[in-house]
Structure 1
Amino acid sequence: MVPWEGYVSDETMGTFAPIVLYWVYAGGYQLILHRRPLQRFRLHTQAEEDEKNLVSVPTVIRGVLLQQLVQAIVAMILFMVTSDSSTPVVQPSIGIQTFQFLVAMLVMDSWQYFVHRYMHQNKFLYRHIHSQHHRLIVPYAIGALYNHPLEGLLLDTLGGALSFLFSGMTPRTAVFFFCFAVVKTVDDHCGLWLPYNIFQNLFQNNTAYHDVHHQLQGTKYNYSQPFFSIWDRILGTHMPYNLIKREEGGFEARPLKD
């Protein structure tokens, strides 16, 4: 039994719950990012954000909403094609769902690593498509899904669809997986290094790891997202970093050469 059962379908929840959660979670981060007590946890100062970022917040919001519109359309088509309303869906055991989660995470990581890396290596694709995301040199939460619409479709939306199909998860399991993936992606772009953040403690691919990728020295490294750093380590694109506390407050993820 889940809270929405009897009110909306699992397919509807799988389509719209990740979008709503994105704005709730990212919006919460955005509200606290500029609070004075939390300045000591920032990876970049407010002055750096204002000086380095090449796109305004309203433009970022419009870009994310456009990507989410495409995402919702693709999700509805995906669920429509794969669901059979004449056959009741039996939810598998927790053990099987856990295995499906892991498979989906590995599929999404693999897809996003290779597509992401190719968009950096292909000069045309980088200049005309992927560079839009890198206009946020100083990442922040609501910009996590700020991409060129084509990149959003290929990298995030198609990556999510492949994860769903290859893992064999049900639409109900997909609700939780897609929400988890959204929260993790937002967290990786939040711009804060928080001591009790479960994602930053459990995952090596975290806020500081991805912040290195947005820096000039790390733009050809740390392609992995959103969960593990496996492919970076296997294929030699992993760049370690030192997390240094700044005198004026906050932290700096300083890239190191392997």
Structure 2
Amino acid sequence: MVFWEGYVSDEAMGTFAPIVVYWLYAGFYQMLPPLDNYRLHTKKEEDEKNSVPLSAVVKGVLLQQLVQATVAQLLFMLTSKADASGITTQASIPVQILQIIIAMFVMDTWQYFVHRYMHQNKFLYRHIHSQHHRLVVPYAIGALYNHPLEGLLLDTLGGALSFLVSGMTARTAVIFFCFAVIKTVDDHSGLWLPGNIFHLFFQNNTAYHDVHHQLQGLKYNYSQPFFSIWDRLLGTHMPYHLVKLPEGGFEARLKKD
């Protein structure tokens, strides 16, 4: 049993919970004080280098989430496993864990190759993917700031494939997609906070993705949002040293393998 049972359907939770979680978690980061001692870039760099205002970022994210919610509703409608009584059979916890691991691998694989191609194809980069890189210094609310077509191809379609290939139910999807949203927001936060579990357990983290947003690392570290497997296998991994700066904050200094 889950806390929403009897109040909201699993399909509705799978559609809207990731959106709510996005704004709660990203909003938490947005409301934090400057925290200069934990930033990967100064607030001055963020203001000077980013070429899009916060209002436009918010509108772009909301548009992508509208598309995601529409696709999610259609997907759940077409794949519902409810029997005539309306009761959905839930998998055991070990099976759910396996499904989530499979979904993570599928999402990583899809996003790596689509993301990499959008960088290698000059037309796609110039007219579509460059919108995301207007945020040279990433921040949490901008995690899903993309061109609408990229949002559909990279995130929405990638999420749909992860759901279908893993065979998870809508209830398991609530857990998976909320986790994926939190991880993506964290990777774009621009903060290296002490005790952050994502930094402890994932090599693909805030600093890893920050490297990709730097000019020197633009054609490296494509992997997102969970692991760095494909970058390492296909030669697009850019290692870095995380250096504590004397004036405060950190810097991900790049080096070649």
What TM-score range do you get, normalising by the shorter chain?
over 0.9
1:15-30 counterparts in 2 under 5 A?
15-30=15-30
Match of 1:71 among 68, 71, 90: 68
Distance in 1, Cα, partners of 2:66 & 2:253: 36
Counterpart amino acid of residue 30 in structure 2:
Q
Give the paired residue count: 255
Q: TM-score, normalised by structure 1?
A: 0.97
Report the alpha carbon displacement of residue 252 of structure 1 after superposing the two structures with TM: 0.5
Show the counterpart of 2:4: 4
1:160 paired to 2:175: no
Counterpart amino acid of residue 83 in structure 2:
S
Provide, for residues 8-48 of structure 1, a one-character-per-residue CA deviation record: whole Å limited to 9, x for no partner. Answer: 1000000000000000000001111xx15x21000000110
Distance in 2, Cα, partners of 1:140 & 1:109: 21
How high is the sequence identity, in percent, across the aligned residues? Answer: 76
Counterpart amino acid of residue 46 in structure 1:
K
Distance in 2, Cα, partners of 1:248 & 1:55: 27
Distance in 2, Cα, partners of 1:85 & 1:93: 16
Secondary structure of the structure 2 residue equivalent to 1:144: helix
Provide, for residues 122-175 of structure 1, a one-character-per-residue CA deviation record: whole Å limited to 9, x for no partner. Answer: 000000000000000000000000000000000000000000000000100000
Distance in 2, Cα, partners of 1:255 & 1:58: 32
Distance in 1, Cα, partners of 2:45 & 2:81: 52
Report the alpha carbon displacement of residue 84 of structure 1 after superposing the two structures with TM: 4.1
What is the CA RMSD across the aligned residues, in angstroms?
0.8
What are the ranges of 5 or more consecutive residues in structure 2 without an aligned counterpart? none
Show the counterpart of 1:57: 54
1:76-95 counterparts in 2 under 5 A?
76-87=73-84, 88-95=87-94
Secondary structure of the structure 2 residue equivalent to 1:242: strand
Contact 2:82/2:89 (8 A) holds in 1: no
Runs ≥4 residues deviating over 6 A? none
Provide, for residues 198-255 of structure 1, a one-character-per-residue CA deviation record: whole Å limited to 9, x for no partner. Answer: 0111000000000000000000000000000000000000000010111210001111
Report the alpha carbon displacement of residue 75 of structure 1 after superposing the two structures with TM: 0.3
Q: TM-score, normalised by structure 2?
A: 0.98
Counterpart amino acid of residue 256 in structure 2:
K
Distance in 2, Cα, partners of 1:91 & 1:197: 32
1:175 paired to 2:174: yes
Counterpart amino acid of residue 190 in structure 1:
S
1:179-198 counterparts in 2 under 5 A?
179-198=178-197
Show the counterpart of 1:31: 31
Counterpart amino acid of residue 20 in structure 1:
V
